[in-house]
Structure 1
């Protein structure tokens, strides 16, 4: 198995990521900015999602490419982070347009998803000025090919089950030379650890010692409902936000299937996943840089890879946050 050079979503050429956090508030924002608009699709599996512009990514809509993507803490307040990114890109005239009139603003397509970190002890007394537009501007200014995992960006105030959560990333290069990368902000209801250990459910998919090399028990006993979840949490207080990117030239329907298959990575890394109190969501993106000669086979392979890469990104985020 082979990870990319940075073991990051930015191993997909043309993808950059920036993060910002407010340690006093215990929250943050992560912005994914492609060099050029990327084809995109989305799959939502959690029972308590918080999103923006996901309807625009439906397969029967006008737009199938995005100009940026925002992941944020702050629950509903965090959706305002995308406003700042839209304004900044619009000022650069980066966005969807039906006319070339310079007097008519362009429309940057910036989907967003949020997680709940309002009850983590940070100072949330922001009145009528939540910090998320400011954090989004800082994250946008910080975009690069380096992604720092752990309590950063959208994962700055996150928790995973009964443990610290965080921002994680991973990548994989297929035998055909396609790169698949994942970015995950882990604020899950479910636990990332095998019961009674600090061994990750995602351990079978680990490459090298990327999340500690702790191994996996020879036998994980059936436990029904794990005791180290956020069992006391109410709906919308949990979410794992995921972005999967590839350089394979996939259509919007193909990306939808890639997102569906990538959701398996949450089930491989967290127990339970996709519950009524989670807002689990996967965005799938393509730079369309590399031609696909065997679409059905390649999509099936990339979907399988994506599930593993997502599981690894989740474990890396939690490991770094420890």
Structure 2
């Protein structure tokens, strides 16, 4: 196992960056349409095709999910991916007809990296369509996920620390696999005030984010946010995550996992889900493994593993980003 999202059978991950702009795009491409759901907790989200994942919708499967830097400009990455997949004949069609293109389902979410010092003088041609196509090409190479300064997390900040892309996975006792991929651009801090230890330390496996151990069990000041951003801006902070599993889920079950997985952010970032953040969690099921009976109990286990994986992925992403200067 790679300890990343590519441990889930039936998907691949693509990443692309523009070093001059200090931004990037991450894409998850599914071999076949995957059951998906979304949960939004931040006060300033930016999304595309999120309504299609709401309860009672016509379409249940997604062809790809895109995470992008660039704030609203970054939504153009998903447009480019949609166009490329449509040209290949992928997408949803209620009644296929000759000469009528299908509609690829490509939900997306964006984070704000516009004020990170990169060259944003792109005029009427933001780089995100190009980066979206590059990420799609990268996904087809089926490489492991690059951590830290990579993809949509390339120009991110995690509080006062460098942000980045993280991923983690686990194989359950019941035989299915759960994994998380995250791009961390949070207002809150991922480390305990006055220490180098990560809030996610209790969930670490095999020193995957430095093996620094746990900080003291109590805080002297509950209002001490440590390495949170000193001067947050509205809509300027976001943690974007994709939880994937090979366990077969219904849309409602995927939605419950998304809700539970949000607790992984709370385990790894403090504070989280603030008015300044646009926190979003997608969940996708490739359906290649059964969900053991009784399903409600197995779903509870899966959701908790998803939260643990997300906490680990957050710390891994920041840890790798801290090892590389921006």
TM-score with structure 2 length normalisation? 0.96
Which of 58, 68, 76 lines up with 1:72 in the alignment? 68
Q: How many residues align?
A: 318
Which of 59, 82, 86 lines up with 2:55 in the alignment? 59
Kept after mapping to 2: 8 A contact 1:167/1:183: yes
Q: C-alpha separation between the residues in 2 aligned to 1:231 and 1:281?
A: 23
Q: Secondary structure at the match of 1:260?
A: helix
Q: C-alpha separation between the residues in 2 aligned to 1:55 and 1:178?
A: 28
Q: C-alpha separation between the residues in 2 aligned to 1:296 and 1:265?
A: 20
* TM alignment of 1:242-257, pairs within 5 A: 242-257=241-256
Structure 2 counterpart of 1:305: 305
Offset, 1:174? 0.7
Query: Which shows bigger deviation, 101-110 or 39-48?
Result: 101-110
Q: Is 1:81–2:77 an aligned residue pair?
A: yes
Kept after mapping to 2: 8 A contact 1:49/1:280: yes
Q: C-alpha separation between the residues in 2 aligned to 1:301 and 1:145?
A: 29
Q: C-alpha separation between the residues in 1 aligned to 2:235 and 2:96?
A: 42
Q: C-alpha separation between the residues in 1 aligned to 2:216 and 2:188?
A: 21
Offset, 1:304? 0.7
Structure 2 counterpart of 1:216: 214
Kept after mapping to 2: 8 A contact 1:262/1:310: yes
Offset, 1:246? 0.6
Q: Is 1:173–2:171 an aligned residue pair?
A: yes
Q: Secondary structure at the match of 1:39?
A: strand
| RMSD of aligned alpha carbons | 0.9
Structure 1 stretches of 5 or more lacking a match?
none
Offset, 1:145? 4.0
* TM alignment of 1:1-322, pairs within 5 A: 5-143=1-139, 144-221=142-219, 222-292=221-291, 293-322=293-322
Q: Secondary structure at the match of 1:88?
A: helix
Offset, 1:227? 3.8
Q: Secondary structure at the match of 2:20?
A: coil
Kept after mapping to 2: 8 A contact 1:194/1:220: no
Kept after mapping to 1: 8 A contact 2:234/2:276: yes
Offset, 1:179? 0.3
Offset, 1:99? 2.5
Kept after mapping to 1: 8 A contact 2:70/2:112: yes
TM-score with structure 1 length normalisation? 0.97
Q: C-alpha separation between the residues in 1 aligned to 2:180 and 2:143?
A: 13
Q: Secondary structure at the match of 1:302?
A: helix
Kept after mapping to 1: 8 A contact 2:187/2:237: yes
